Structure 1
Amino acid sequence: MAEIIKWEPDNFKLETNTVWSFPNRGDWATHDGSYRGNWSPYIPRNLILRYSHPGDLILDQFAGGGTTLIEAKLLNRNIIGVDINDVAVKRCREKVDFEREYSGQVYICKGDARYLNFIKDENIDFICTHPPYANIIRYSEDIHEDLSHCKIPQFLEKMKKVSSECHRVLKKDKFCALLMGDTRINGHVQSMSFEVMKIFEAQGFNLKEIIIKEQHNCKATGYWKTNSVKYNFLLLAHEYLFVFRK
């Protein structure tokens, strides 16, 4: 069981506008930044506090490093964490192995975000998730169903099924939040984020918020800064956090 030194972030305040920036990613409870590509715990903390209530059932079907699961447990929400990768599932179980009074229940399983057959229709109070950005970061070597193996067109096609499952399991009038980023190929921006946004809208979700989230501490930043000037392109230093309502 993990030894907890600090349970909460210092001087936490809810974000009140549509630009979020967390230079210090957050180190309370069992959080750490060792799982590549995981989001700052300030993001799910803000989302969970705004769009759910104590005792609600949350879903994160791309559980990854377990950040959302930790926050849900700390904030007395119940959560289902799903990931296709055994390494992620094992890490998630380790990260939520702590006890605290008035904490939520965490249910973790290996599974495919496109096929959540074990969750009943309209059973989820809030979806809070951070999918891979196609194959920008590959999270496994030989898991065929892993969306981080997909090039952008294939990734977007598979996200249609992800959005369908989100719509099926979420209760009416409840919220679904997901973070997406873009990439650059052959000198041109590939706007995956807005393509995913349109997929969720086509599924029947209404767009409540678009939040711009500033990126910090990206790998190889110095290298890319040099090349940004040399080859005349701007570094992508933001992601989009979409909040949808069913």
Structure 2
Amino acid sequence: MHGFDLTNIIRYYPDILPYLAITFLVVIFSMLFGVIFGFLIAMAKLSKNKILNVLGNGYTNILRCTPSIILLFLVYYGLPEIIQALFGVDINHIYKGIFVIITLALLFSSNMAEVMRSAYESVDKGQFEAGVSIGLNNVQTFIRILLPQCFVIALPNLGNAVIALFQEGALAFTIGFIDMMGKTNLIVSLNYGSHAREIYISLALIYWAISIIIEKGMAKFERIYKERILAKTV
């Protein structure tokens, strides 16, 4: 067992940091697909159609009750078998990042569906009627009056969801995906566990810094949005 050496915390940054770009790309694509699918699920949850409502609520309940790592394994090991059975196509050899993005997008969509639903229900629906009364159609009223207010209400939870998504991505190493976490594990293995504490502290500091930046950035964006953009809708 080697003694703790602070210099090793800095020593391995050049090896780990290049993989931050991969981590960011996974998060960005997961957010993109997660928001789109989350919006559709939110519409189902808000729908007066009982079947859509049950499906939407069932989806979010199942996803929110499933541990992230189990969902990742289900997607990684189960999806190829489903695709093979339905279409006769073998996808076992595709880029592992695809499975990670699908998993994180599913997790993010369940969070976003609930965030969007609660934000929409928090807005006074009397404003919808007011918009229609001044000549706006339903779509214009929703986009120009209700949507900006829903966005403001959703921003704090959106920031928390993004941070959670960024951190959940660290589980991807369990299927052999090489991002920051995967690269860090490789470094530890190549060093036969030597200085593992310092190496993982290096990684933790990166996650802490990025999470704080996201949190502060979202808070600043929320403040600017409230002051400049929302004021235009009043």
Q: TM-score, normalised by structure 1?
A: 0.22
Larger Rg: 2
Which structure has more helix as a fraction of its residues? 2
TM-score by length of 2: 0.23
